[in-house]
Amino acid sequence: MTALERVRAACHHEPTDRVPVGPFAGFCAARLTGVSLRRYVTDGQAIADAQIALQHAVGHDIVVTAADTYYLAEGFGLEVEFHENALPTAKGPLLTDLKDVDCLRVPDPKRDGRMPVYLDAVRLLSAALGDQVAIRGTGTGPFSIAAYLFGMQRFLMTLAEIEAGEDEDERHVHQLLSMTAEASTAFLKAQFEAGAHILYLGDSLASADMISPAMYRRFVLPYHQRIFAEVNGQGAFTLLHICGDNTVMLDALAETGANVLEIDHKMNLGLCKQRIGDRICLIGNLDPVQTMLHGTTEDVRRESRRCIEQAGQGGGFILGTGCFVPYDSPLENLRAMVETSRQEQIK
């Protein structure tokens, strides 16, 4: 099986020769080619070169273009600051009043913000790797983009006031979320056209660590469903990532329509498999910091075996990490994930 065939089979809950391995190894690849993070997030060629170097060194099944989180919000007009050896940071919210939503325009992924950088990366990876290795794109979810544009604290407070019946401006919130969902959808579609096999939607702020399950159902789920309904069925797989412990909203996450759900290390993978594993392919859930950054190769092997035992049964599982692999994680730790998958298969 090629890496791509293995990943496709897992997404379909079909048998594989071994469990596919797809750590969320994005910008940590910059170390292999020695480019600065500033260059990495502004140059699609730098992303593609580093991802290819990492894949050659590790042998995993999925390359990952995702690096920073603001490229799409920038398309709406959010200003960011670049740093030589750190990811970009937002300068401040774009909207001072929710009513300003009326002045926003949905960005064009081929032209606006830094979306073209990530489209270039997919195109270059597709040209270099063809259909051998699965290409996972990037994509920020509607809730997170809205929070970047309006300011996280103010956005959450407004939602809490609406929930409590103290704010009448729900219409503008939904108008904003409709626009950001439209922007996410357009960007995912453009990446599919560029050659991505896995269309990734990361909506980290829509986490149960930040909002209640009721708020997720009211302000997030309808938009996730809308996005996945529009991009599913084209031939790529969709993957949803939300940071944190989302055990209380597992069923809602399985209703989004995403083909694959990334499981954070804070969650019990076995429980997720039991509750929703027959409906959605799972990817996870090694601890990015404790295991990938600070752990030994033996820790990685033990944790990888634990994941395969908890979720590998019956397919529909990809061995991965709960979130981004930190920049300084040893390469041997990434290799240990692939080695363990191979050994578990031999048994």
Helices (H) and strands (E) in the chain, counts: 15, 9
- Beta carbon of residue 243, minimum distance to Zn ion (angstroms, whole number): 3
Question: How many binding residues for Zn ion (CB under 5 A)?
Answer: 2
Segment 38 to 57, residues that bind Zn ion, using CB under 5 A: none
Q: Which is nearer to Zn ion, 179 or 323 (CB)?
A: 323
- Give 59: exposed, middle or buried? Use CB within 10 Å, 0-12, 13-18, 19+: middle
Residue 336: what residue type? A
Segment 243 to 262, residues that bind Zn ion, using CB under 5 A: 243
- Beta carbon of residue 118, minimum distance to Zn ion (angstroms, whole number): 18
CA end-to-end span of the chain: 18
Binding range to Zn ion, per CB under 5 A, among 61-69, 111-119, 237-245, 253-261: 237-245
Q: Which is nearer to Zn ion, 209 or 278 (CB)?
A: 209
- Which among 288, 251, 284 is positioned nearest to 268, based on CA atoms? 284
| 207 Rama class: left (phi>0) / alpha (psi -120 to 50) / beta | beta
Instruction: Give per-residue burial for 251-280: e unless 16+ CB within 10 Å, then b.
Output: ebbbbbbbbbbbbbbbbebeebbeebbeeb
Instruction: Give per-residue burial for 188-217: e unless 16+ CB within 10 Å, then b.
Output: bbbbbebbbbbbbbbbbbbbbebbeeebbe
Segment 217 to 236, residues that bind Zn ion, using CB under 5 A: none
Helix/strand/coil for 241: strand
Residue count of the chain: 347
- Beta carbon of residue 24, minimum distance to Zn ion (angstroms, whole number): 8
Binding range to Zn ion, per CB under 5 A, among 154-162, 178-186, 192-200, 242-250: 242-250
- Beta carbon of residue 323, minimum distance to Zn ion (angstroms, whole number): 3
Q: Which is nearer to Zn ion, 87 or 243 (CB)?
A: 243
Binding range to Zn ion, per CB under 5 A, among 143-151, 174-182, 219-227, 238-246: 238-246
Q: Which is nearer to Zn ion, 40 or 324 (CB)?
A: 324
Instruction: Specify the DSSP class assigned to residue 325.
Output: P
Q: Which is nearer to Zn ion, 162 or 323 (CB)?
A: 323
Task: Mark 307-336 with x for binding to Zn ion (rule: CB under 5 A) and - for no binding.
Answer: ----------------x-------------
- Beta carbon of residue 166, minimum distance to Zn ion (angstroms, whole number): 31
Q: Which two tokens stand for residue 138?
A: 């990037």
Binding range to Zn ion, per CB under 5 A, among 3-11, 14-22, 97-105, 239-247: 239-247
Sign of the C-alpha dihedral computed for residues 267, 271, 274 and 275 taken in this order: negative
Q: Which is nearer to Zn ion, 300 or 323 (CB)?
A: 323
Q: Which is nearer to Zn ion, 159 or 243 (CB)?
A: 243
211 lies in the binding site for Zn ion (CB under 5 A): no
- Beta carbon of residue 204, minimum distance to Zn ion (angstroms, whole number): 5
Cα-based distances in Å from 162 to 14, 151, 157, 223, 224:
44, 17, 9, 18, 20
Q: Which two tokens stand for residue 17?
A: 């020769």
Segment 179 to 198, residues that bind Zn ion, using CB under 5 A: none
Residues that bind Zn ion (CB under 5 A): 243, 323
